[in-house]
Structures are given as structure tokens and as C-alpha cells.
Chain A
Amino acid sequence: MTPEEELDLLVKAERAEAPSRVHMERGFERLQEALGANVPALDIGAVDPTQLGASTGVGKLVTLPWVAKFTAVVGVVATTGALVGQVHSNSEPASGAPASAAVPAAAAVPATAAVPAPTAVPAAASAPAALEADSAAPRVAGGVSTKSATESSARPALSPERPLAESVDAAEAPSDRATAVPEAHEPSVKAFDDAPAGQATPPQTGFDAELVLIKRAKAEFDRGRDDLARGWLREHAQRFPTGVFAAERDGLLVLSTCRANPTAGQAVAQAFLQRYPQSPLATRIRRSCGFQ
């Protein structure tokens, strides 16, 4: 492929990029809040489009070559993966069962909140609290487990290779779709939700982007806005199908589904428990989805 052809391919790919509807709605909400709270806009001086072609004023963006950035992402994931794996082994239940190869190391990420965060990934210190194993969760009425097997088996089967998000999508009530289905390609999201205004721009890494998505999903889940939570989880599933937080994503999806539709929830919960038997979320899922 010639450089010209490759450039055309890159241009074509970039043209196809677009934010999702969920993203836009969240941004709109945020803007309304800011305007309501009279948050001042960034002072950017006079805006004259005809100056676009003239002086630049500010120096060029100091950007590392893209190869270095991708390398960086891999480096971060590899580094944190090792840490997470370590934490995971410490956080397993008393059974002492070793982390199975089938269980991603990410299943233990919740525990990172309890250990010193790696300096390279400060956001890990604020990992979603809900990901803590067996944290207090509303217990689902025991009646759920008495649902007939026919109802459960009518739900789509789950394949180990298939992201749980897809299965949950299929199992959801149609009413959920109208508000939460992201469009074609999803944008990345800002990191460090909790960082005070004016702080340095957050790093752009796969780990951080994943973490932000999971945090957002968790925040929406905690607020009871399951449709928005599932929107973020779907975005994660699309962008990071086998990401570091895949197990957390699937766990949150299961909890959210159990709350919205206990019957469908039990089917996906069963699949989750088979796939991640050692997950720190397993007990909570069993409880919330009516298995206990």
C-alpha cells in the first residue's frame, strides 16, 4: 500500500468517527448543570474565525509519535495487570482456590481501592467502590428464584467468547433500548471525573479510559439509572471487549439486569458465575439475583 493510499484509508476512518447519542445526552446534561450553577466558561480571549488561518499564538502541541502512545498503553496495562493479578490472589475467598486461567486478572481490580495505587495509574485509587467484593447490596426478594425454568431458558444462551453485554442486550426489555443504545463508534471519555477543575489533562491510556467508563457506569447504576449505566457498559464492551475491566463490566451488567428484569437477570447471572466463579462480585450477584 502506498503512503497516499494509506493516508486515504486513515482519512476515511477518521471521517467515520462520531460521538454516541448517550454521550451527547450526558454532555447536554452536564452543560445544563454548569449553566444552571453559573459555572464560568474558560477564558479563551476573542474568537475570530478569520484568525484561524493567521497567527497561532500558542506553540504546537507536543505530541509523542503514535507508536509511543500505543506502546505506553500496553506498558500501563501490562504493569497494572501484574499488580492487579497480585491483588487478586490476595482477595480471593478463603477457599484458597487459585485464580483460574479462565478468570481474567481484572476480576480482582476492585481490590485496588484497598491498596496503594501505582504511581503510573493514579486513577486506580478511585476505582468504583461498588466493585468491592460483596459490598452491601439490596437483596432481591427471594421470590425471584421461584421463577419458572421456562422463563429463564427462554433467554438467549451465553457463549464464553461472547461479551456478556451482547447477551444482556438481547435479554433486556425493549423499553431499555430507546434511551441507551450507543451508536456506531463510541468516543473515548474523560478520565478523572473527580479531579478538580484546572488540573492537568488526564493521560490517555486504555486503562484510564476503561476505568472511566466503568466508574461512570457504576455511578449511574448507583443512582438507579440502569439504562444509562448499560449505555456506558455497552460502550466498554464495544471498545474493550476483552479489556482489563471486562469482568467488572459483566458483573455490573448482571446486577443491573437483575434489578431491571429479575428473570433475564438470573439467566445472565448464571452465565457470569460459570465464567467467573472466583469473581469478587460472585457472592453479591448470587444474593442480588436471587440465588441465595
Chain B
Amino acid sequence: MYRQHHAFVWRNARRLGAPDDAVDDATHEVFLVVARRLDEFEGRADLRTWLFAITLHVVRALRRKEWTYTRRLQRYADLKRVELQPDPQHDAVAAQVLRQMLGRLDEKRCTVFVLSELEGMTTQEIARELGLRPGTVDSRLRAARLELRSMIERDARNRRSAAP
């Protein structure tokens, strides 16, 4: 099970907001929980959705410690402000940019967006697994895309206005 689902948990921990340097820890915690609670899994939900839910819980727990991280990060940022241009052609950077934007999304929208756009689940599957109406899934997905597009536009505007 670990080998089969490690990648799934790892990538979704990042998407749900685990900082890159804490993804290993988050993944580790998820499988610790799985090992302890496997007997609780009754097969009502898809195994991957169950794993996704555990991952979300674990990442939330990590977020509670996030303030220290962000505060320190802000201090670093104040040390030297250098404008970096994102390069969407560069995959690793592009992926990181998207994850940063997901972190700014509403959690419900983020969850639907990740399951749909990144994990390839259908509206029906997501609705069934999350106990939502298909219309709700679709509207959250649309809202997520709209918000992400707005972030892209806003960042582009900020870059333009910051340019000398």
C-alpha cells in the first residue's frame, strides 16, 4: 500500500499546502495514521479519497505551526528584495508557482480543483466521494479556476508595475 500510494500522498500533501521541506514529514505522518487506522477504513469511500482526507488533516496540523515559518520567511524577504520573473516554461518553477497559488485558495475550492484538475477525477466521482451535489463540485471548480486566473493576472500586473 505504501509503495502504491506514496506518490499520491506526497504530491497532494504539497498541493494542499505542506511546504516543500515538510512534505516528507507530512507523507510520513499520513502513513503512520494509515497504519494505525487501517482497520477503521470500511470501504465506504474510495481508498484514495480516504488517503486524501488523512493528508488534508495532517497538512492542517502542520499549518498550525506555519506562523513561525511565515514570519521567518518574511524576515528573509526583507533582507533583500529581488524581483524574479516567473518562467512558466520551466516546469519545476511553474509547478511551484501553482502550489503557491493553491495555498491562497479557499480550502474547499482547492480540494475540488486538486481532485479534478490534478488527479483527474470526474465530477461524479468527486461528488460521490465528498458527499456533494455534482452542481456544487462544478461551481467550486469554476470558482477555483476563476480565482487562479485572477491571481495570475494580478501577479502579472504587479510585476509590470514594479518594473523600472
A residues with CB within 8 A of B: 1, 3-4, 6-7, 9-19, 23-24, 27-28, 30-31, 34-35, 39-42, 44-45, 47-54, 56-76, 78-79, 120, 185, 187-191, 199-205, 208-209, 212, 239
Query: Looking across the interface, which residue of chain B has its beta carbon closest to that of A68?
Result: B77
Evaluate contact between B107 and A120: CB separation under 8 angstroms. Answer: no
Contacts A189-B21, A204-B19; A42 near B50 (Cβ below 8 A): no
B residues in contact with A35, CB < 8 Å: 32, 35
Is B95 within 8 A of A63, CB to CB? no
Bound-complex Cα distance A197 to B35 (A) = 19
User: What residues of B have a CB within 8 angstroms of the CB of A1 in the complex?
Assistant: 88
Residue of chain A at shortest CB distance from B132: A53
How far, in whole Å, are A263 and B151 apart by their CA atoms in the complex?
55
Q: Decide yes or no whether B161 CB sits under 8 A from chain A.
A: no
Chain B interface, >50% SS class: helix
Question: Known contacts A31-B32, A50-B45, A57-B60: does B145 contact A7 (CB below 8 Å)?
Answer: yes
Number of A-B contacts (CB under 8 A): 272
- B160 in the interface (beta carbon within 8 A): no
Give min CB distance, A115 to chain B, whole Å: 19
B42-82 contacts to A, CB under 8 A, are 45-46, 49-50, 52-54, 56-58, 60-70, 72-82
Are A63 and B11 touching (Cβ within 8 A)? no
Q: How many residues of B contact A (CB 8 A)?
A: 98
Q: In the bound complex, do residue A72 and residue B73 qualify as a contact, i.e. CB atoms below 8 Å apart? A: yes
B28's partner among A3, A27, A45, A56 (CB-CB below 8 A) is: A27
Query: A1-B88, A13-B94, A188-B20 in contact; A62/B6 too (CB < 8 A)?
Result: no
Cβ contact within 8 Å between A201 and B62:
yes
A208 to B92, CA, bound (A): 17
Residue contact A67 to B72, C-beta cutoff 8 Å: no
Tell me the complex Cα distance, A53–B52, Å: 12
For residue B131, give the distance in angstroms from its CB to the closest CB of chain A: 3
Closest to B37 in A: A47
| B83 CB to nearest chain A CB (Å) | 7
Mask, B141-152, CB within 8 Å of A = 1, is 000010011101
Q: From the candidates A15, A52, A190, name the one contacting B56 in the complex (CB within 8 A).
A: A52
On whether the beta carbons of B91 and A185 are closer than 8 Å, the reply is yes
Chain B residues, Cβ within 8 Å of A42: 29, 32-33, 58, 61
CA distance A3 to B33 in the complex (A): 39
